[in-house]
Amino acid sequence: MNEKLLKIINERQLVSAMNKTKWREVCEDLEKLHSSYICVRYKLITSDEIFGFSPVWWDQLFEYSSAIEWLDFNPIVSEYQGHLISDKKTDRSAEILSILKRHSIKYSNQESYFRVWGYLNPGACPEFV
């Protein structure tokens, strides 16, 4: 881990909830699912910016894993069907939860999303499932 991240972790007194191995397992399994349509939003510890819901390249997301504060999965996938037809909605909850369970990754429910925590702030007590 680089010095910049260590400094932020120490200053904010963050506690790690994930490690590089767990992030790799999640990203690899989602890549195998051909789940490029699963949208995520995430926050890095290096910024206050929240990167909104969008599909990601899982191998690229893994590169940022040391700095991910949290990652939300939107289990509802929308597929464009055309101008005259509504988008096709598919619930991918079972597949996402199966991957999290397989790798013993704790998550919390945030609204209708599944949140995987990379780091926890002091005093934060998410209700893990």
pLDDT on residue 31: 87
Q: What is the pTM of this model?
A: 0.89
Dump pLDDT digits (tens) for 31-44: 887 655 788 999 99
More confident residue, 12 or 80: 12
**Exposure class string for 99-124: b at 16+ Cβ within 10 A, else e:** bbeeeebebbeeeebbbbbbbbeeee
Is the CB of residue 45 less than 8 Å from the CB of residue 8?
yes
Average pLDDT over residues 96-116: 94
Average pLDDT over residues 77-91: 89
pLDDT on residue 80: 86
pLDDT on residue 36: 58
- DSSP structure string for 18-77: --HHHHHHHHHHHHHTT-TT-EEEEEETT-S-EEEEEE--HHHHHHTGGGEEEEEEE-EE
